[in-house]
Structure 1
Amino acid sequence: MYKNFATKLLFFALLLLSTLCSLKAQTAFRIVSKPIIFDAERRQLTLDYLEKRHGLKQSEPTIHPLMVVLHWTDIMSLEKTFDVFNRSTLPGARKEIASASALNVSSQYVIDRDGTVYQLLPDTVMARHVIGLNYCAIGVENIGSDQYPLTEAQLLANEQLIRYLKLKYPIEYVIGHYEYNLFRETDLWKESDSSYRTEKTDPGRDFMKRIREKIKDLNIKGVPDHK
């Protein structure tokens, strides 16, 4: 009798510990507001980008999110990344994309190496982060690079953020930045210049494989099926 009681007690203790760990993981997810400048200049440049690059003439610089695009920054500092995104216009060093627009690059979210999630723009305000898809894509930048792969804390934070966004919006796709070209032959693709493209590797194939394993229960698509 005592042996059975001890076994049951151990079972319930392990169940309680598992539940507490799960609750801790869930409650640890926080979004810290860290807004970049969105002044009249950036607003107008965003409206111009939507019209000239995506063929969408709008009165407000908003998007209807259908996709989450994961990136890495290639800048190993949250504050330096923020400084790069904070100005409304592209710095002179970005000549390879300046011909398309003077609008500065940015994203809606940045995730630091420790997994802290910072929100730079509202989910439904357009950020310039992925050719052909900005009008429907929420961008998530991660502090890291090819030399400094993304961390376990970032993996968890990306998973939690995707789950959060899936609850709010009809998210159909989660892709890595390096996969954006695979949408060129789909109805989602909107880019006025067919030759405008850049080669990307972020956020790494291994990271995308792992994040897709983590969110497979959400039944979100990866790259499109080409028939």
Structure 2
Amino acid sequence: MKGGAGYAGGARRVAMATAVVVALLVLGVALDQGLLGRAGSATRGWVSGVRAGAPSSAAPTGAGASPVSPAPSPTTTAPALDVPAAPRIVADHLTFGAPRKAETAAYAARHYGTRTSRLRPTMIVLHYSESDTYSSVRSLFEADLPNRGEEPGTCAHFVVDQDGTIHELVPPTLVCRHTVGLNHVAIGIEFVQSSRGHDPRWATQQVLARRAQAAAGVALVEHLQRRFAISDDKVIGHAMANQANEFRDLEGWRNDHVDWQAPEVGAFRRLLTQAP
């Protein structure tokens, strides 16, 4: 029966065609889901412009997700010294009345061309005392004895004792004779320490190794830096004075002192950087 066989063949063709269409639809859905999945993964790889795989503080969620550890933070080096935020300063002023101020003004006129005992500090000079007691240092400065044949006598604004006590002998707004060529611009700080016949650098290293004294010195210097806007590079040693840009002496005097040389001043400045 030609007619029956033709109908049966047509039915099979329709069934096959229908199966092919269904298969294609299923394949299309699968392909679409796969593409969307890949697109979703790519989108999740960039969040607010952050590249995929970059460290994130948010851990991934979902089945099979592995927690991502945050990148380690840089190691923080603790300050080498426990430096107080504000130093305790003990006022123990030298006799610095009208006679000594007049001597100081005359000295400033001869050496700097400015007849005044007033100081507007822009530098700090570090010294050590060549004595192992605060009392002997103070007695020398109080005596106001001529030095190099000239008055006034030598002095320092501050003395830092070995136990960390900070003594103010002269207000830092008065000129004090401690460094040839820089007395008109610099605050002088003495650290109680004798070289005891050793190399001058040895004496300064003793100061740096004595934690209480070194910490007090750092705290004092930072306090003065804040008060007078003095930068770290303007904190120098007595041995460095002749090379300072601010050095000036109309009489042609030069420093011959070797206390606080550049390597130890560099170590002291690093402590300033580390201080909170």
Q: TM-score range, shorter-chain basis?
A: 0.7 to 0.9
Q: How does 1:1-227 map to 2 (within 5 A)?
A: 25-26=83-84, 29-58=87-116, 61-90=117-146, 94=147, 97-98=148-149, 101-147=150-196, 148=203, 149-150=206-207, 151-172=210-231, 173-183=234-244, 186=245, 188-194=246-252, 196-216=253-273
How many residues are aligned here? 184
Question: Cα offset for 1:46?
Answer: 0.5
Distance in 2 between the 1:153 and 1:203 partners? 18
Q: State the one-letter code of the partner of 2:166.
A: V
Q: What SS does structure 2 have at the residue aligned with 1:215?
A: helix
Q: What SS does structure 1 have at the residue aligned with 2:124?
A: strand
Q: Is the 8 A contact 2:159 2:191 kept in 1?
A: yes
Q: What SS does structure 2 have at the residue aligned with 1:164?
A: helix
Structure 1 residue aligned with 2:71: none
Q: State the one-letter code of the partner of 2:273.
A: K
RCO (CA 8 Å, sep 6+): is it higher in 1 or 2?
Answer: 1
Question: Cα offset for 1:25?
Answer: 4.4
Q: Is the 8 A contact 2:240 2:262 kept in 1?
A: no
* Alpha-carbon displacement from aligned partner over 1:57-108 (angstroms, at most 9, x marks no partner): 23xx111110010000001110011000002332xxx5xx22xx22100010
Q: Is the 8 A contact 1:66 1:137 kept in 2?
A: yes
Q: State the one-letter code of the partner of 1:123.
A: P
Q: Judge which range, 37-46 or 122-131, deviates more.
A: 37-46
Q: What SS does structure 2 have at the residue aligned with 1:89?
A: coil
Distance in 2 between the 1:40 and 1:217 partners? 41
Give the % identical residues. 26
Q: State the one-letter code of the partner of 1:89.
A: L
Distance in 2 between the 1:109 and 1:79 partners? 13
Q: State the one-letter code of the partner of 1:162.
A: V
* Alpha-carbon displacement from aligned partner over 1:145-165 (angstroms, at most 9, x marks no partner): 333531222211111011101
Question: Cα offset for 1:207?
Answer: 3.3
Q: What SS does structure 2 have at the residue aligned with 1:53?
A: helix
Distance in 2 between the 1:167 and 1:212 partners? 15
* Alpha-carbon displacement from aligned partner over 1:101-148 (angstroms, at most 9, x marks no partner): 221000100000111100001111010000111111000001003335
Any gaps of 5 or more consecutive residues in structure 1? 1-17, 219-227
* Alpha-carbon displacement from aligned partner over 1:155-179 (angstroms, at most 9, x marks no partner): 1111101110111102140001000
Q: State the one-letter code of the partner of 1:153.
A: A
Q: What SS does structure 2 have at the residue aligned with 1:110?
A: strand
Any gaps of 5 or more consecutive residues in structure 2? 1-77, 197-202
